Amino acid sequence: MSEKPIQDLYLDEYAHCYGCGKKNPQGMHLKSYLEGEECVCRYTPDSCYTGGVPGFLYGGMIASLIDCHGAGTASVATADEKGEPVGRFVTASLTVDYHKPTPMGVELIIRGKATEIKGRKVTVALQLFAGDVHCASGRVIMIQILADT
């Protein structure tokens, strides 16, 4: 796999996502990298994404991070398993469990691993950390976009 971020390998026509799209000027531009058997994303959210309690991250932002990194994880896992270029995925299901409040001003680390690949459907398990604190877990089911879709 390339040293480039997974999202930079997406075809331009599929690179407009708010969370991870390189072609979205207002987006977050998440970057995911394969590290051993895991896919890892590091991101420090802007202070505008605070939740109802000052100093802590908005839960919707946590879900967004898990969602977009899950898509990147599905892409690289499928590319590795099938020996194909990185494809693009959309979300079929997203589940997030919040374990502890996620503090602002800390680099977040999201770790993902594909747990099942069945044709175009990939299930990914994810963990979100703020430093050493495990703040959230997620599970996504992603469906690969076909070129003629």
Give me the active site residues, please. 67
Cβ neighbours around 93 below 10 Å, total: 11
- Which residue, among 48, 46, 51, has the nearest Cα to 30 in the 3D structure? 46
CA separation for the pair 82, 45 (Å, rounded): 34
| Pair of tokens at residue 111 | 């770790």
| Pair of tokens at residue 70 | 């899950």
Give alpha helix (H) positions in the chain.
Answer: 59-82
Question: Contact at 8 Å (CB) between 9 and 39?
Answer: no
Question: Contact at 8 Å (CB) between 51 and 97?
Answer: no
